[in-house]
Structure 1
Amino acid sequence: MLIDTFGRKFNYLRLSITDVCNFRCNYCLPDGYDCDQERNFLTLNEIETLVTAFAQLGIKKIRITGGEPGLRKDLTDIISLCSQTPGIEKVALTTNGFNLARNATAWKAAGLNAINVSADSLDPRMFSAITGNQNLTDILHGVDVAQEAGIESLKLNAVLLKQFNYSQLQDYLDWIKDRNLTIRFIELMKTGDNQSFFRQNHVSGQEIKSLLLQQGWQQKLKHKLDGPAQEFFHPNSTGRIGLIMPYGKDFCDTCNRLRMSAIGKLHLCLFAEAGNNIRPWLTASDVEGCKQIIIDTLFDKKVAHQLQQGFVGGTKHLAMLGG
């Protein structure tokens, strides 16, 4: 088991396989992806070494992220590799859903257990205003296809923005009343590129939580492999609500996840200064060496991020490391 100097146990890896994204979300990549960046992403063989090493160190859950992971043609192979690695109990995917309808069945067959789909509005015009994409209907159809394929856990992610979708909060609650899935509201985070936008659009997660509790929503207990979201249920709703509140008190106390960038850097926090390059061990297929560098790096993990103080580290935008 991976344990840091503060006694926190790590069983969850967020694995970015590309930082390329085909959406232009106003809170992340409003000008689109910069094609001049390095694109020498981890190969399938390097990912195999990485996943094997982490699994042998006690990682039980892997979430495949981007950028947009669906842009990689070998995504199905990556899912299969992760699901077949001894020790890995759950494989999840975060996607914008642009090709979900076409691939959900194959991803399920490869071993995918859970999908989180970005849906920053249920209104097509607002969705387009936020994401620069006009295919909301196709994306929601993909969610239906994923459910029909038997994906165990389906969640929609929405970054709540004061000047955009915050007024549509009740629309989400109404939409999930008869749907067996979870809507997760994510508190907007400040990054290197969005500081003015953050000041204009940040909504406190605690404010949303108070509203839910007033409406009779009740908080669920966490499973050991769950991420940072607080999840809520209501006796009159089939669907559930999740809240991710990185500015909340004690958010980092239960941290159980590490992050790998698409170019082979191990990040101890989304908002740390820089990752530790472990790619030489991955390229050499050196599982034991990889395990040792992971253990050594973990000693540097800090007790908490410093978002409340305005520190965003080396995170220029969320697509760099999968949010």
Structure 2
Amino acid sequence: MVVEGAGPSCGLIDGFGRHVTYLRLSVTDRCDLRCVYCMSEDMSFRSRRDILTLEELTRLARLFIARGIDKLRITGGEPLVRPGILDLFAALSEPIADGSLRELTLTTNGTQLARFAEDLARAGVRRINVSLDTLDPERFRALTRGGSLARVMDGIAAARAAGLTVKLNVVALKDGTEHEIHDLIAFAHAREMALSLIETMPLGDVGVDRVDQYLPLDSLRRQIAGRWTLHDVPMRSGGPARYARVAETGGLIEFITPHTHNFCADCNRVRVTASGTLHTCLGQDDATDLKAHLRTSATDDVIVRLIDQALGRKPKGHDFILRRGASPQLARHMSETGG
């Protein structure tokens, strides 16, 4: 598909001069787990007709790639529960093969990985993030409201056997993560997996007060440093992570801190929901509807213009605030935005 007036040389640049090269594309708002920091127990999901088709997702992804996006992460919900999802990965393997897309990645809860890992590797995926907040089966069942830790462990093993590099995502939760952090580090680094620690974010009503979940990573890092030797690593990805290497293991820990340290100055990413809404900031209520034009415009000119206009309005940063008893800062759940 030829995009008129667009190409990698044009690039996507926001109003603050930041080059946007990273798209997080959600393919579904549905998930086979109900993690307590992500969803309420009784979730309502969008109707099937409101969700972009695989063809529309492919068209939109290729359009962003033509505009200079060189890293694409497929997200959800849980992306691997989307029927026919391998067709999308197969379509996106083409820009990987011709070099127009540098990296195609995936964030998953791991429940479907044993089934899909080899096919993902064949499609050009080299690196994935797997959400794993605990190594205790009972706590896992409680945090996910019924999930099986063994199934996720099988998925991680299958991904590693298929040659995928795995990073573990851990949402830091008060009265839980502190008790397991050393085991999580040892588990990940013994298997050559980086560990990403993430502060909980006030997105969507999950049925509990976020203040009761919140564990600041500053305090967790001090706890880690009481046992492990941490050396800061001056890595920059244009994203939210600050990195440290553990001397005893050689492995990396990423600290993602939307509350304790604002990470927006070098932001290089945008997000598109499964329903075709472009969000240029995870922590703001900005929204641009792309779906209507995907379904009515035969050419891409209007969509390109909408994307450029949205980038011109991209906020300088988020304004996450946690207050006891306050409503969620944003109504949309993380499962809808795609992380």
Give 1:313 shift: 5.2
Amino acid in the other structure paired with 1:8: R
Give 1:268 shift: 0.9
Could you tell me whether the CA contact under 8 Å between 2:174 and 2:213 is conserved in 1? Answer: yes
1:69 to 74, 79, 83: 79
Query: What SS class does the counterpart of residue 185 from structure 1 fall into?
Result: strand
Q: Given the alignment of the two structures, is residue 166 of structure 1 paired with residue 175 of structure 2, yes or no?
A: no
Give 1:227 shift: 3.4
Could you tell me whether the CA contact under 8 Å between 1:177 and 1:236 is conserved in 2? Answer: no
Runs of 5+ in structure 2 lacking a partner? 1-10
Give 1:213 shift: 4.7
Give 1:134 shift: 3.7
Query: What SS class does the counterpart of residue 108 from structure 1 fall into?
Result: helix
Tell me the alpha carbon deviations over residues 119-171 of structure 1, each in whole angstroms, 9 at most, x when there is no partner.
110111111111123421121121111111111x3111111111333321111
Amino acid in the other structure paired with 1:176: A
Give 1:298 shift: 0.9
Q: Given the alignment of the two structures, is residue 41 of structure 1 paired with residue 51 of structure 2, yes or no?
A: yes
Q: Distance in 2 between matches of 1:265 and 1:154?
A: 29
Tell me the alpha carbon deviations over residues 221-259 of structure 1, each in whole angstroms, 9 at most, x when there is no partner.
3354x6322222223214321211111333111111000
Q: Given the alignment of the two structures, is residue 140 of structure 1 paired with residue 137 of structure 2, yes or no?
A: no
Q: Corresponding residue for 2:338?
A: 322
Alignment of 1:119-130 (within 5 A): 119-130=132-143
Alignment of 1:97-246 (within 5 A): 97-151=110-164, 153-194=165-206, 196-213=208-225, 215-222=228-235, 224=237, 227-246=239-258
Could you tell me whether the CA contact under 8 Å between 1:217 and 1:233 is conserved in 2? Answer: yes
Query: What SS class does the counterpart of residue 209 from structure 2 fall into?
Result: helix
Task: Report the CA distance shift for 1:177/1:95 in structure 2 as closer, same or farther (over 3 A).
Answer: closer
Higher alpha-carbon deviation: 246-255 or 213-222: 213-222
Give 1:289 shift: 2.6
Q: Distance in 2 between matches of 1:222 and 1:53?
A: 29
2:303 to 290, 302, 305: 290
1:6 to 1, 13, 16: 16
Give 1:62 shift: 0.6
Q: Distance in 2 between matches of 1:17 and 1:160?
A: 25
Give 1:185 shift: 1.1
Q: Distance in 2 between matches of 1:61 and 1:207?
A: 32
Q: Corresponding residue for 1:51?
A: 61
Amino acid in the other structure paired with 2:140: F
Higher alpha-carbon deviation: 309-318 or 285-294: 309-318
Could you tell me whether the CA contact under 8 Å between 2:204 and 2:334 is conserved in 1? Answer: no
Q: CA RMSD in A?
A: 2.1
Q: Corresponding residue for 2:7?
A: none
Identity of aligned residues (%): 33
Task: Report the CA distance shift for 1:28/1:177 in structure 2 as closer, same or farther (over 3 A).
Answer: closer
Runs of 5+ in structure 1 lacking a partner? none
Q: Corresponding residue for 2:6?
A: none
Task: Report the CA distance shift for 1:144/1:134 in structure 2 as closer, same or farther (over 3 A).
Answer: same
Amino acid in the other structure paired with 2:334: L
Could you tell me whether the CA contact under 8 Å between 1:126 and 1:165 is conserved in 2? Answer: no
Q: Distance in 2 between matches of 1:93 and 1:129?
A: 25
Amino acid in the other structure paired with 1:292: R
Could you tell me whether the CA contact under 8 Å between 1:176 and 1:240 is conserved in 2? Answer: no
Amino acid in the other structure paired with 1:128: R
Give 1:282 shift: 2.1
Q: How many residues align?
A: 320
Tell me the alpha carbon deviations over residues 252-287 of structure 1, each in whole angstroms, 9 at most, x when there is no partner.
111110000101111011122242101233223533
Q: Distance in 1 between matches of 2:267 and 2:196?
A: 18
Q: Corresponding residue for 2:107?
A: 94
Query: What SS class does the counterpart of residue 3 from structure 1 fall into?
Result: coil
